Amino acid sequence: MSVVRSIRRREALVGAGWPAQVTPLLRRIYAARGAHDEASAQPRLAQLLPPDALSGIDDAVAMLADAIARDAHIMVVGDFDCDGATACAVAVRGLRMLGAMRVSHAVPNRMVHGYGLSPLLVQELAPLRPDLLLTVDHGIACHAGIAAAKAQGWRVLVTDHHLPGEQLPPADAIVNPNQRGDGFACKSLAGVGVIFYVLLALRRHLRALAPAATGDSHEARVPHAAASADLTRLLDLVAVGTIADLVMLDTTNRSLVAAGLRQLREGRGCAGLQALITVAGRDPARLTASDIGFAVAPRLNAAGRLEDMALGIHCLLTDEPAEAHVLAARLHAINAERRGVQQAMVDEAEAALALRVVPTPDDAAGVCLFDPDWHPGVIGLVASRLKERLHRPVVAFAPAEPGSVTLRGSARSIPGFHVRDALAVVDSLHPGLIDRFGGHAMAAGLSLPRERLAEFEAAFDACTRATLPVGLLAAEIASDGALHVDEFDHAHACALRDGGPWGQGFPEPQFDGEFDVIAWRVVGERHLKLELGQPGLRLNAIEFGGWAGEPPPPRVRVVYRLEADLYRGGSAVQLVVVHREHAPDAVPCRPA
């Protein structure tokens, strides 16, 4: 039940005016992504938008400045994914840099509290007596939890980036670039980016007070702390959270991520991130956004998926390298367990799909899957894997906890189908069916009673069929065209690696071409190691997950990335195959 993909080459009109150090290959790749000069291709921090246009930013700054001046207890409430964990660490570290003396943090446990600031979490926090709750990467949908916090007499500041519902929660201030009427041009900030911008605005406000601050009072010390605070030290965390949350890497996000990557490559990241890079087996000096997305972030995310994200946040907040390595090793072990759970769940989901009627290419069906033994912390990964395979919106469900009558669902979508809006349509047409929902265009979450799963499945399928244009079901894989013979070298591979950051909306370069299969073998039970040839070329290649029990033909058309071959070292390169199909008249060949 896998989708057939067609290869589409991106168009690129390359203009003049590029500096000599930008290779012609990179110029073509940048142009294909809409970047026609160095400033738009590799934006710097100096190009960051000012925070002024963010709705609620003045109220937020006033609340935080007042809390710092009064030595009030500020409690940062994070979320149990990588964006939420890094946002929590940025808030705690940043507020302390700006003079806050009483800053603590909390994070919900997925299995105990559910998502976000809930009334149960507020009840557990009550003995700590915070004066101000600061939510990061959530809060816009936490109406009941915020009402409970207000009933305790606490002030509540929400910083979030998720899409709001029809009504905003009863917080004292909300900073969210996606709330209605907000004039901030970048709508793609991750949660960690939002709180970083709040800190930038707070520092500017406190610095403006510095000339008036005199004497030995606390009010005098706060502006002094603000004046010396270097918030760029937090950009390593901003980069990791932004990449992990798969937000669009527009100019603002690319400038943030690029600066954070530079810090990590230079060994100036926080102790926890440096330890996570080490246990992931990555070279800090060559770290890429892809390394963060596929190696660092999953290890941090694993704590929130299978255990408690408090462990991950602890790793990000410690300044002791030895402690950081102990915590990173625990996260590494949890991630290994997560990978096993995920693979078992994906195998079960694929087995269930095999029993269904295969949708035709023009059948805009929405797919829902449920298993009573699935883990709620891993269903998002299952939905994502199946969405890639089927090229259709997928919602995976699991019990909120073992034996629970409430299900948690994680939805993943394809470009052009706004899954959070689809859930809103279902909710409006079937009031009371969904307990709660929220998210983005490409990913969303929800909960509903177990006995109403069949009703939701029918409603979601009907919504998908009514609103998903059939043309979007034609799955494509984009290519930057063919590489010339003299571009298959180490210099071009390094230029491609360092030309990013690459990610959502600014995709990593990949190319296509036809090759002879000179030799092949299976490695690690699931992967294909290939030797590919063209006239005058003989190249090593790897296709992860490429072994499906059938040998490759003697000639193939592949879409691939060109990378430095770190295993062989020196000037060796390899192709990482991301798509393979038979070339015309190809027949299977024997393994090497």
Cβ burial of 72 (10 Å; 0-12, 13-18, 19+) is middle
List of residues 6+ apart from 128 with CB closer than 8 A: 73, 75, 104
What is the Cα–Cα distance from 263 to 267, expressed in whole angstroms? 6
Dihedral sign of CA atoms 500, 501, 506, 509 in order: positive
Low-confidence ranges of the chain (pLDDT < 70): 1-4, 111, 211-221, 357-364, 585-592
By residue count, the chain amounts to 592
Say if strands 103-106 and 537-543 run parallel, antiparallel, or are unpaired: unpaired
pLDDT (0 to 100) of residue 403: 83
How far CA 451 is from CA of 26, 248, 406, in Å, comes to 54, 37, 9
Query: Residue 521 pairs with which residues in a beta bridge?
Result: 529
Structure tokens at 221: 């010390």
What is the Cα–Cα distance from 4 to 557, expressed in whole angstroms? 14
DSSP secondary structure of 170-196: --SEEE-TTSTT---S-----HHHHHH
DSSP 524: T
List of residues 6+ apart from 37 with CB closer than 8 A: 15, 17, 18
171 by DSSP, 3-state: which? Answer: coil
Please state, as a whole number, how many other Cβ atoms lie within 10 Å of the Cβ of residue 544.
13
In contact, 233 and 203? CB cutoff 8 Å: no
Query: Residue 6 pairs with which residues in a beta bridge?
Result: 476
DSSP 114: -
578 by DSSP, 3-state: which? Answer: strand
In contact, 80 and 102? CB cutoff 8 Å: no
Label each residue of 478-492 as H, E or C. EECCCCCHHHCCHHH
Helix extents (H) in 280-392: 289-291, 297-306, 310-317, 321-354, 379-390
Query: Residue 170 pairs with which residues in a beta bridge?
Result: none
587 by DSSP, 3-state: which? Answer: coil
What is the Cα–Cα distance from 495 to 43, expressed in whole angstroms? 17
pLDDT (0 to 100) of residue 377: 86
Structure tokens at 247: 């937000």
Q: At what angle do helices 310-317 and 297-306 cross, to 10 degrees?
A: 140
Residue type, 453: L
Label each residue of 397-437 as H, E or C. EEECCCCCCEEEEEEECCCCCCHHHHHHHHHHHCCCCCCEE
Tens of pLDDT, residues 309-356: 899 999 999 999 999 999 999 999 999 998 888 889 988 988 887 777
CA-CA-CA-CA torsion for 442, 240, 251, 97, nearest 10 degrees? 130
pLDDT (0 to 100) of residue 499: 93
Q: Give CA angle at 336 (335, 340), nearest 5°.
A: 110
Provide φ and ψ at 174, rounded to 5°.
Answer: -135, 130
The owner of tokens 């069949």 is 454
Task: Reply yes or no: is the peptide bond before residue 376 cis, omega within 30 of 0.
Answer: no
In contact, 53 and 187? CB cutoff 8 Å: no
| Residue 307: closest CA among 107, 123, 124 | 107
pLDDT (0 to 100) of residue 3: 58
Structure tokens at 484: 């010339």
List of residues 6+ apart from 385 with CB closer than 8 A: 346, 349
Helix H or strand E encompassing 544: none
* Domains recognised in the chain with CATH numbers: 46-265 (3.90.1640.30), 356-473 (3.10.310.30), 478-582 (2.40.50.460)
pTM, whole model, 2 decimals? Answer: 0.89
What is the Cα–Cα distance from 168 to 176, expressed in whole angstroms? 11
In contact, 180 and 235? CB cutoff 8 Å: no
In contact, 488 and 560? CB cutoff 8 Å: no
Query: Residue 134 pairs with which residues in a beta bridge?
Result: 76, 157
Please state, as a whole number, how many other Cβ atoms lie within 10 Å of the Cβ of residue 582.
14
